[in-house]
Chain A
Amino acid sequence: MLAEKYAARIDQIFSKYPTKRSAVMPLLHLAQEEFGYVNEEAIQQVAVLCDMDPTQVQSIAGFYTMYSERPKGKYWLQVCTDLACALRGADKFHKELKEHLGVEEGGTTEDGLFTVEHVMCLAACDKAPMLQCNFHFEENLDMDKMKARIEAWRAEAAAEKSGAKKASAKTKA
């Protein structure tokens, strides 16, 4: 349960506002962090916390684009292809990135690591092409830099996986 696991953080969020409802967006962000996406459980728990109807919480989750209602890859790559970035090659970059990873728009690689989609302006027009990976900005990109980043993320994911295996082996021992 979010309420127990993140009690201090939730209290801190509620302390900012005179109404419980104002906390719905920060709590949906927290739930997405916990569950990887905004699933039914997230909706229910946030509704209880904010004293709202689950339908109202669902409508908030559906309205704002940063809440995902489907699972995403471990690395959620959102490429800005808006006008200012497109004038500096963002459409081409976006297309090549999808080809490199072998995914369609909005698709996730078979290993579950990467989801690629395009997004609207991210306020980084002077550093195009750019993308956000799990909401962190990666800027001044080209495909060579991108391929190196992808390899680094793959290595990071593999290290985490083997680390987790070792940890569970230790627990068993």
Chain B
Amino acid sequence: MSDADPELLQLLPHRPPFLFVTRILSMSSGAARAVWELTGREEFFRGHFPAHPIVPGVLIGEALAQTAGLAIPDDDSPHRARGRSGSLARIDLKFSAPARPPVTLELEARVAGSRGDLHQFDVVASVEGRPIARGQLAIAVTA
């Protein structure tokens, strides 16, 4: 919990235990790839579910939103986005398979469009290259 990547702590306002991205694979203005490594010892697996743990879909959505936070385009925002707060304005995901720990979730976010401080992303979460969730989300960057 306390071993968060210092680079991530600079780029995202989230903190453990609600910082789910554990490593950045690539990052540019408008696109980011990252991973969330889960050991199976995370607290929420005690209840989701006893004896057969599955990564909660809402947390996969949050991890994708954090990945999108790494990809917010600099040039489209009146406020420089990185390291600032952003609010999830919309999310629409389709889940095609469960993710069971231990597992490394590969997270990808690519900007699809922007208007001012509002940014829409296409997002995908994969396990070993196979998509398990995909959809769109929007983030509003706050001043």
Q: Is B a genuine binding partner of A?
A: no
